[in-house]
Amino acid sequence: ALIAAASGLVEPVAGLIGVSIVSVAQAFLPWGLGLAAGAMIYVVASDIIPDAHARINGGGKVSTGLMIGLAAMMFLDTTFG
Protein backbone atom coordinates (compact mmCIF):
# COMPACT_ATOMS: atom_id res chain seq x y z
CA ALA A 1 0.00 0.00 0.00
CA LEU A 2 2.89 2.37 0.76
CA ILE A 3 4.45 1.76 -2.65
CA ALA A 4 1.11 2.46 -4.34
CA ALA A 5 0.72 5.67 -2.34
CA ALA A 6 4.30 6.71 -3.15
CA SER A 7 3.75 6.14 -6.85
CA GLY A 8 0.67 8.38 -6.69
CA LEU A 9 2.73 11.28 -5.31
CA VAL A 10 4.18 11.86 -8.77
CA GLU A 11 0.79 12.69 -10.30
CA PRO A 12 0.30 16.18 -8.81
CA VAL A 13 3.85 17.18 -9.77
CA ALA A 14 3.39 15.89 -13.33
CA GLY A 15 -0.01 17.62 -13.47
CA LEU A 16 1.54 20.96 -12.57
CA ILE A 17 4.26 20.48 -15.17
CA GLY A 18 1.58 19.63 -17.77
CA VAL A 19 -0.48 22.71 -16.89
CA SER A 20 2.55 24.97 -17.19
CA ILE A 21 3.54 23.48 -20.56
CA VAL A 22 -0.02 23.82 -21.91
CA SER A 23 -0.30 27.42 -20.75
CA VAL A 24 2.98 28.28 -22.48
CA ALA A 25 2.27 26.33 -25.66
CA GLN A 26 -1.46 27.08 -25.94
CA ALA A 27 -1.02 28.62 -29.39
CA PHE A 28 0.41 25.31 -30.69
CA LEU A 29 -2.45 23.13 -29.46
CA PRO A 30 -4.62 23.49 -32.61
CA TRP A 31 -1.63 22.55 -34.74
CA GLY A 32 -0.92 19.51 -32.61
CA LEU A 33 -4.54 18.41 -32.67
CA GLY A 34 -4.61 18.87 -36.45
CA LEU A 35 -1.47 16.77 -36.78
CA ALA A 36 -3.01 14.04 -34.64
CA ALA A 37 -6.20 14.10 -36.73
CA GLY A 38 -4.21 13.88 -39.94
CA ALA A 39 -2.26 10.92 -38.60
CA MET A 40 -5.50 9.14 -37.71
CA ILE A 41 -6.96 9.80 -41.16
CA TYR A 42 -3.79 8.38 -42.70
CA VAL A 43 -4.04 5.23 -40.59
CA VAL A 44 -7.69 4.74 -41.52
CA ALA A 45 -7.11 5.39 -45.22
CA SER A 46 -3.99 3.24 -45.54
CA ASP A 47 -4.86 0.31 -43.29
CA ILE A 48 -8.46 -0.01 -42.19
CA ILE A 49 -10.32 0.83 -45.42
CA PRO A 50 -8.35 -1.61 -47.64
CA ASP A 51 -8.72 -4.33 -45.00
CA ALA A 52 -12.48 -3.73 -44.84
CA HIS A 53 -12.69 -3.91 -48.65
CA ALA A 54 -10.84 -7.23 -48.59
CA ARG A 55 -13.05 -8.74 -45.89
CA ILE A 56 -16.46 -7.54 -47.11
CA ASN A 57 -17.92 -8.67 -50.42
CA GLY A 58 -18.96 -5.64 -52.45
CA GLY A 59 -16.40 -3.17 -51.15
CA GLY A 60 -18.54 -0.28 -52.38
CA LYS A 61 -20.64 -0.66 -49.23
CA VAL A 62 -17.59 0.20 -47.15
CA SER A 63 -16.91 3.40 -49.07
CA THR A 64 -20.59 4.35 -49.08
CA GLY A 65 -20.84 3.84 -45.33
CA LEU A 66 -17.67 5.86 -44.79
CA MET A 67 -18.98 8.76 -46.88
CA ILE A 68 -22.39 8.71 -45.16
CA GLY A 69 -20.70 8.71 -41.75
CA LEU A 70 -18.40 11.56 -42.76
CA ALA A 71 -21.32 13.61 -44.09
CA ALA A 72 -23.31 12.99 -40.90
CA MET A 73 -20.35 13.97 -38.74
CA MET A 74 -19.79 17.19 -40.68
CA PHE A 75 -23.50 18.03 -40.55
CA LEU A 76 -23.61 17.54 -36.79
CA ASP A 77 -20.40 19.51 -36.30
CA THR A 78 -21.60 22.50 -38.31
CA THR A 79 -25.13 22.37 -36.87
CA PHE A 80 -24.26 22.02 -33.20
CA GLY A 81 -20.75 23.51 -33.50
Cα separation, 55 vs 49, whole angstroms: 10
Whether the per-residue pLDDT at 44 is higher than 90: the answer is no
**Tell me, what's the pLDDT at 17?**
93
**Tell me, what's the pLDDT at 25?**
85
| Alpha-carbon radius of gyration of the chain | 21
**Tell me, what's the pLDDT at 35?**
93
* pLDDT tens per residue across span 58-69: 667 777 888 898
Cα separation, 46 vs 33, whole angstroms: 20
pTM of the predicted model as reported, rounded to 2 decimal places: 0.48
